[in-house]
Amino acid sequence: MTFKSNTGRKAVHAVLFVGIASAAALGTASADPLKTWRHGVIEPKSDAGFILMAAKGEFAEKQGLKIETVPLKSDALAIKALLAGELDSYEGGPGTAIAAASHGADVKVIGCAWPQPVHGIFVRSDIKDAKDLKGKRFAISAPGAFPDLLARATLEKGGVSPSDVQLANLGGDLDRYKALAAGVVDAAVVSTEYLPLADKNIKMLYTAREVMPDFIRTCTMTSGKVLSTKHDEAVHFIAAEISAMRYAVANKDKTVALTKEETQAKADDPRAAFLFDEVVKHGDLDPEMKIPTDKLDWLQNLMVKTGNLTKPADISKMVDQNVRTEAEKIVGGK
């Protein structure tokens, strides 16, 4: 399998002299043009090989689509772009979508590729357990986002009140890891891809799957409007995603190579290979994109508990199982 270059290739044009009568007799016809599907992704890192395989590995073309991936900084920006009609779908944390749907937003979950987070609680080496986080500086991201929820769940595990910790919004994984490495903070929520880079003064205290086993890392969201106007494209998009992720899981070298190409990582950077092994070993990725409604319910109840929602809503109204079911018929079930 070859991947499409970021810079693109020059098309090679050839002039074919075919008689009109002969063409008609042979029943020739021009190929149908690819339909564009605009898909938002939240800054792929060492998981880029999984996330971008459908678009870069030619799986979309086999489904009659051209996937335009749009990198975004946050779920909040992604859902705004979706509801504004600038995206056909996006992959991100379902919490933001649940919050939006609870206020009447036209958002639908059509698949969940990452049923488990690939993050952990990284700390300075002198911190032995969650109780030791009292009085410490803890790097998270925006209030209500996954790093914030994971940090609070970790504090609860140790019986530590959030008011006894200095929670600091320090941006993305790299920013949080750098703050921890520099001693600016004592703990941080960081992707496990940074574990092979950590020096002896940094360790992973807990994995996210240990602290929050029911937390869903990401799902794919679209809108009811898109499904009403581009239903077939949505089905073929999910079919492309399923085929691509099946391939990615079975082909480590290709997936790691695509990750390094997209992140411009150096040849000796260990993160892509390390994260691939972690993801496959722990089942963090579900290539079949099944929608775990029980986990969505759990997340919604957690958001009510943390004050991000005032009351739970009917999750079934924001879940569309039909798209994935139809896509599975195209690619075959497993």
What per-residue confidence (pLDDT) applies to 11? 33
SS3 2: coil
What per-residue confidence (pLDDT) applies to 73? 85
Whole-angstrom Cα distance, residue 18 to residue 312? 64
HSE-CB of 60 using CA atoms within 13 angstroms: 24
pLDDT band (50, 70, 90) for residue 261: very high
**pLDDT tens figures, 199-258:** 899 999 999 999 999 999 999 999 999 999 999 999 999 999 999 999 999 999 999 999
Whole-angstrom Cα distance, residue 265 to residue 262? 8
The CA-CA-CA angle for residues 159, 216, 75, to 5°, reads: 100
Q: Which two tokens stand for residue 64?
A: 């009659």
Mean pLDDT over residues 129-152, rounded? Answer: 91
Q: Are 137 and 189 contacting, i.e. CB atoms less than 8 angstroms apart?
A: no
What per-residue confidence (pLDDT) applies to 238? 98
Mean pLDDT of the chain: 89
Look at residue 21 and tell me whether its pLDDT is greater than 70. no
The answer for 320, left when phi > 0, alpha when psi is -120 to 50, beta otherwise, is: beta
Q: Which two tokens stand for residue 99?
A: 């919050």
**pLDDT tens figures, 267-281:** 999 999 999 999 999
Domains and CATH numbers, the chain: 33-116+215-331 (3.40.190.10), 119-211 (3.40.190.10)
Sign of the CA dihedral running 89, 90, 94, 100: negative
**pLDDT tens figures, 147-195:** 988 999 999 999 999 999 999 999 889 999 999 999 999 999 999 999 9
In sequence order, the β-bridge partners of residue 38 are 68
Look at residue 31 and tell me whether its pLDDT is greater than 50. yes
In sequence order, the β-bridge partners of residue 319 are 109
Other beta carbons less than 10 A from residue 179's beta carbon:
19
What per-residue confidence (pLDDT) applies to 2? 54
The proportion of the chain whose per-residue pLDDT surpasses 90, expressed as a percent, equals 78
| Beta carbons within 8 Å of 36's beta carbon, 6+ residues apart | 65, 66, 68
What per-residue confidence (pLDDT) applies to 1? 65
Mean pLDDT over residues 127-143, rounded? Answer: 94
Look at residue 24 and tell me whether its pLDDT is greater than 60. no
Mean pLDDT over residues 34-45, rounded? Answer: 93
The CA-CA-CA angle for residues 72, 105, 68, to 5°, reads: 30
Q: Which two tokens stand for residue 179?
A: 């703050």
What per-residue confidence (pLDDT) applies to 3? 60
Sign of the CA dihedral running 178, 183, 185, 190: positive
Mean pLDDT over residues 7-18, rounded? Answer: 32
The proportion of the chain whose per-residue pLDDT surpasses 70, expressed as a percent, equals 90
In 3D space, the residue among 138, 272, 289, 143 whose CA is nearest the CA of residue 216 turns out to be 289
Look at residue 317 and tell me whether its pLDDT is greater than 70. yes
Look at residue 115 and tell me whether its pLDDT is greater than 70. yes
| Least confident range of 69-78, 247-256, 321-330 | 69-78
What per-residue confidence (pLDDT) applies to 305? 85
The answer for 245, left when phi > 0, alpha when psi is -120 to 50, beta otherwise, is: alpha
What per-residue confidence (pLDDT) applies to 179? 96
**pLDDT tens figures, 74-100:** 888 999 999 999 999 999 999 999 999
The answer for 27, left when phi > 0, alpha when psi is -120 to 50, beta otherwise, is: left
Whole-angstrom Cα distance, residue 155 to residue 205? 12
